[in-house]
Amino acid sequence: MSESDATNARVSTLTQIGIITKYNFLNYFRARRFYVMLAIVLIISLLLTVAVAYYQPFEFVGGTALGFYGAGWGSFASFVVILSTAFFGGDAISSEFQNRTGYFLVPNPIRRSAIYIGKWLAALIASSIILGAFALIMIGNGLYYFPGTIPWGFVESLAFAWLYLIAALSLAFAFSSLFKSSSISILMSVILLLFVFSVVDTVSSIVIGIEPWYSITYGAGIVTNILMDPFPAHMTTTKVGPRFTFTSFNATVPEGLAILLAYFVIMAVLGLWLFEKKEFTS
């Protein structure tokens, strides 16, 4: 190795975050899982397009563009968010331990927080592309059946879905920092977001009668509810028989936004702290 002709410059943490984002996104973009996820979204979109074209269910959706987007985008946006989160965030940190890539990256003049944030941003970009692809196909369908109309409710729903993606990725990264096994951290993210939170929402509101304000999926309900006209009531009590009453809750928009933002912040801090503390032991 020849002597260097120039001395190395000090690199700011912000610049290092950008470097980690760039190369992690490159790694995501070339990996099979990116194209598997894209294929899943394309299949969902294709099935929806074919089903709408064949059955023409416009009466079912109220004959409005908002109802149309509610049935298509509203039904699957959260599912796409959860799947993208699991694919790109589920093992983002745990793989650094299990696959030993952390041994290449961590022993360098770079803070662990820069690695964590850079990886999170790369996962967000990859997931946003997937969510964006789904949104574009839905918009294409919507414009075909309702020319010149993109309801404001859909734009809001898209923004809420993106915020849900941000919060869910934050949660997945925190779990990814907790475990050293990639498969366990991915599985935990999927089980939590797809089943556990939904069950907790139902049990909390219907059985116990407490609003599940602590649940991310409850907050994410605004992604679908904003596409309903009118927006669902915050609390609905239904009497079943002479003795039982069931209560159901829907997060209001400010409440939903607050829950999602709180998840993003709390899980980001928790995940970062876990990653900072975690040791690379064999």
CB of 101 or CB of 183, closer to other proteins: 101
Min. distance of Cβ 11 from other proteins in angstroms? 4
CB of 33 or CB of 156, closer to other proteins: 33
Q: How far apart are CA 199 and CA 130, in angstroms?
A: 27
Tell which one of 39, 100, 132, 233 touches other proteins (CB under 8 A): 100
152-178 and 65-89 helices, crossing angle to 10°: 20
Specify whether the CB–CB gap between 249 and 103 falls below 8 A: no
Q: Is 90 helix (H, G, I), strand (E, B) or coil?
A: coil
Tell which one of 47, 57, 101, 132 touches other proteins (CB under 8 A): 101
Min. distance of Cβ 71 from other proteins in angstroms? 37
Specify whether the CB–CB gap between 106 and 115 falls below 8 A: yes
Tell which one of 60, 103, 144, 273 touches other proteins (CB under 8 A): 103
Specify whether the CB–CB gap between 159 and 77 falls below 8 A: no
Specify whether the CB–CB gap between 170 and 263 falls below 8 A: yes
Considering only 61-69, 98-106, 136-144, 227-235, which stretch makes contact with other proteins by CB under 8 A? Answer: 98-106
- Residue 49 makes CB contacts below 8 A (sequence gap 6+) with 137, 141
Min. distance of Cβ 180 from other proteins in angstroms? 13
Q: Does 282 bind other proteins (CB under 8 A)?
A: yes
Pick out residues in 112-131 that bind other proteins (CB under 8 A). Answer: 112
Burial class of residue 263 in the structure, from the number of CB atoms within 10 Å of its CB (0-12 exposed, 13-18 middle, 19+ buried): buried
Tell which one of 109, 148, 230, 242 touches other proteins (CB under 8 A): 109
Pick out residues in 1-20 that bind other proteins (CB under 8 A). Answer: 1-6, 8-11, 13, 16, 19-20
Tell which one of 39, 53, 99, 245 touches other proteins (CB under 8 A): 99
Specify whether the CB–CB gap between 69 and 154 falls below 8 A: yes
Q: How far apart are CA 219 and CA 117, in angstroms?
A: 24
Residue carrying the six token digits 């409850």: 218
Q: Does 26 bind other proteins (CB under 8 A)?
A: yes
Min. distance of Cβ 83 from other proteins in angstroms? 20
Q: Does 189 bind other proteins (CB under 8 A)?
A: no
What is the size of the binding site for other proteins (CB under 8 A)? Answer: 39
Short-list 260, 249, 227, CA closest to 74: 227
Specify whether the CB–CB gap between 227 and 154 falls below 8 A: yes
Considering only 28-36, 65-73, 211-219, 220-228, which stretch makes contact with other proteins by CB under 8 A? Answer: 28-36
Min. distance of Cβ 54 from other proteins in angstroms? 39
Q: How far apart are CA 9 and CA 216, in angstroms?
A: 43
Binding site for other proteins (CB under 8 A): 1-6, 8-11, 13, 16, 19-20, 23-24, 26-31, 99-104, 106-112, 279-282
